Structure 1
């Protein structure tokens, strides 16, 4: 009987050891499993931001030890800019790296993630707002409605207006006809007496040469120079004050939940690193434009009073947008509270 007991004990121990070994093998296999995600941006691979998004992909691979691979498609190669979010939500892609302001047709609240017009003075303030638990409590369910999760934002510094006529201050907006994107921006500038014209960007140069419009809102100084705007426009606003469009890193919620926690952290760390690089690199590029074109372009630095007047006009438009959905109202209230904390509002 004693021998039988010893045999059973030995057999049981052997079975347990084999089971533990098998389980350990499965855990180790899971720990080395490779995940591959598909992403799309509307930026070109050679642009400043496109190069930074390439680095995001490289960081995810290196920080994960090769476990997380992202196939990034540039210049909206898979679907159009405005279809990227839906493609990610439906599983055609996994990650959307375009502008949240493209989604205002789904809910006006997305405007206050994609471009808080007339609000913040630099991208750091916007990132700080999104880091607040109160902000995340609004953003997470908004994205979750569409089976998406917002990891974070990639936001360059404020944009500059380009013009064929001087723009020294807010009074010069009276009657100023310029190319503008549709939506909130057009509403704000109309309130200030300007005449925004919504047109395809490819039509802008001809329109300025023929006097149909006198300027354009396109991007930062560096982007504007790359587009050739300063071949025609000899006036620009800098530092900017009106618009700071942000791309989001938004991922399909099922894809996000399928990732191990450590790989979720990898994406978050990579996003934060690239967010800093975008600010740094675009700021440097803009200052190079200031230096290179100092004798060719007049850069108008608006007074504090004019900047505040623009913000006040923007806030009036915000109030109207806040009535358009519950999420938009919550978003506006959150931004206003944070701006007061930052001393941007009295």
Structure 2
């Protein structure tokens, strides 16, 4: 039994020990993440670095994201596996380029003719339900889908002019996996290369052109210096890209860091919308390195019709793909019925 004397003695000794103990203030360890983007350094300055800089500043030393550009840590095609394994904490990419093992991968990047404008992307994700589908599919493979946003449209930039569909035949083109799969029916030969090797490949003749971006990227990254023509017909009106994170690393973050990251990445999506939207028009009008060409609309309709057939082929592959295609069709039908300015 504890007597009054032992209680007082022990209590006094414990209190004295507490008072005598030196006050040690241990600074909380900074949370450090490594993030890799699909973009090279010149493009990354616009499409991701401002968001990372903003996050690091607002995190006030509690967390820091170290940014790496295309292929710096791992090749782009290995980004998903590296993130899933925890080698990289966070990734900015489309699903298609990083070979995600999900049912929605085929829709990442440029799904042929599914989008007309950049606003179509957030509308589809946050008003038509694609966001939840992506979150569910990535959760199955241990990855957090943070958010989706739009980038630029997809056009051909080539060393020879394209004025008809026949001019596409035999063109060796750097493009995305799904876009390449679609374009082969028109004679295009898709070529896979590291992003940083594209400029040299255009100079050496290994590539005849690219179908990777709109005109803003072609000028920004220097491809306008090694190509001569830009086709105004679009394979897609916007690129679908995302921010992802390793699920365990994401779950380990304090809620305020999760919220801050989501906010900064949404700001990144907003920045790209006006940067690309203004850039595409301005460069077509005010720059002269690339000569603009156009395939007549009556001929280009064959590509548009082929795209709808391609959607049906993809829809037949799984229930999830069929659900996404159905949403894309419903959305486009609504936009078409709404008329100008939604669809012309």
Name the TM tier (shorter chain).
Answer: 0.7 to 0.9
SS in 1 for 2:157: strand
Matched, 1:319 2:315: no
Whether the 8 Å contact between 1:242 and 1:310 is mirrored in structure 2 is no
How far residue 49 of structure 1 moved from its aligned partner, in angstroms, is: 3.2
| Structure 2 equivalent of residue 82 of structure 1 | 77
The counterpart of 2:211, out of the listed 217, 233, 239, is 217
The counterpart of 1:156, out of the listed 140, 151, 155, is 151
| Inter-partner Cα distance in structure 2 for 1:128 and 1:306 | 29
| Structure 1 equivalent of residue 239 of structure 2 | 245
The counterpart of 2:132, out of the listed 132, 137, 153, is 137
How far residue 249 of structure 1 moved from its aligned partner, in angstroms, is: 0.6
| Structure 1 equivalent of residue 92 of structure 2 | 97
| Structure 2 equivalent of residue 166 of structure 1 | 161
How far residue 101 of structure 1 moved from its aligned partner, in angstroms, is: 0.7
TM-score normalised per structure 2 = 0.77
| Structure 2 equivalent of residue 38 of structure 1 | 34
More helix by share: 1
Change in Cα spacing, 1:315 to 1:93, as seen in structure 2 (3 Å) is same
| Inter-partner Cα distance in structure 2 for 1:195 and 1:114 | 18
Matched, 1:330 2:309: no
| Inter-partner Cα distance in structure 1 for 2:43 and 2:221 | 13
Output one character per residue of 1:191-219: Cα deviation in whole Å (capped at 9) or x when no partner: 3x3332425334333327xxxx6543242
How far residue 305 of structure 1 moved from its aligned partner, in angstroms, is: 4.9
| Structure 2 equivalent of residue 115 of structure 1 | 110
Alpha-carbon RMSD: 3.5
How far residue 34 of structure 1 moved from its aligned partner, in angstroms, is: 4.6
| Inter-partner Cα distance in structure 2 for 1:133 and 1:258 | 30
Whether the 8 Å contact between 1:37 and 1:71 is mirrored in structure 2 is yes
Change in Cα spacing, 1:155 to 1:337, as seen in structure 2 (3 Å) is same
Whether the 8 Å contact between 1:184 and 1:317 is mirrored in structure 2 is no
Correspondence list, 1:1-346, <5 A:
34-45=30-41, 47-104=42-99, 106-107=101-102, 109-132=104-127, 134-168=129-163, 171-173=165-167, 175=169, 177-181=171-175, 183-191=177-185, 193-198=186-191, 200=193, 201=198, 202-207=200-205, 214-226=208-220, 228-231=222-225, 233-238=227-232, 240-242=234-236, 244-294=238-288, 296-301=289-294, 305=298, 308-343=301-336
How far residue 273 of structure 1 moved from its aligned partner, in angstroms, is: 0.6
| Inter-partner Cα distance in structure 2 for 1:68 and 1:304 | 51
Q: Which runs of 5+ in 1 are unaligned?
A: 1-10, 12-28
Output one character per residue of 1:251-288: Cα deviation in whole Å (capped at 9) or x when no partner: 11112222233322211111111112123223444445
Q: Which runs of 5+ in 2 are unaligned?
A: 1-10, 12-25, 337-341
How far residue 81 of structure 1 moved from its aligned partner, in angstroms, is: 1.0
SS in 2 for 1:102: coil
Whether the 8 Å contact between 1:48 and 1:281 is mirrored in structure 2 is no
Change in Cα spacing, 1:217 to 1:257, as seen in structure 2 (3 Å) is same
TM-score normalised per structure 1 = 0.76
SS in 1 for 2:129: helix
Aligned residues: 315
| Inter-partner Cα distance in structure 1 for 2:76 and 2:274 | 25
| Inter-partner Cα distance in structure 1 for 2:100 and 2:254 | 33
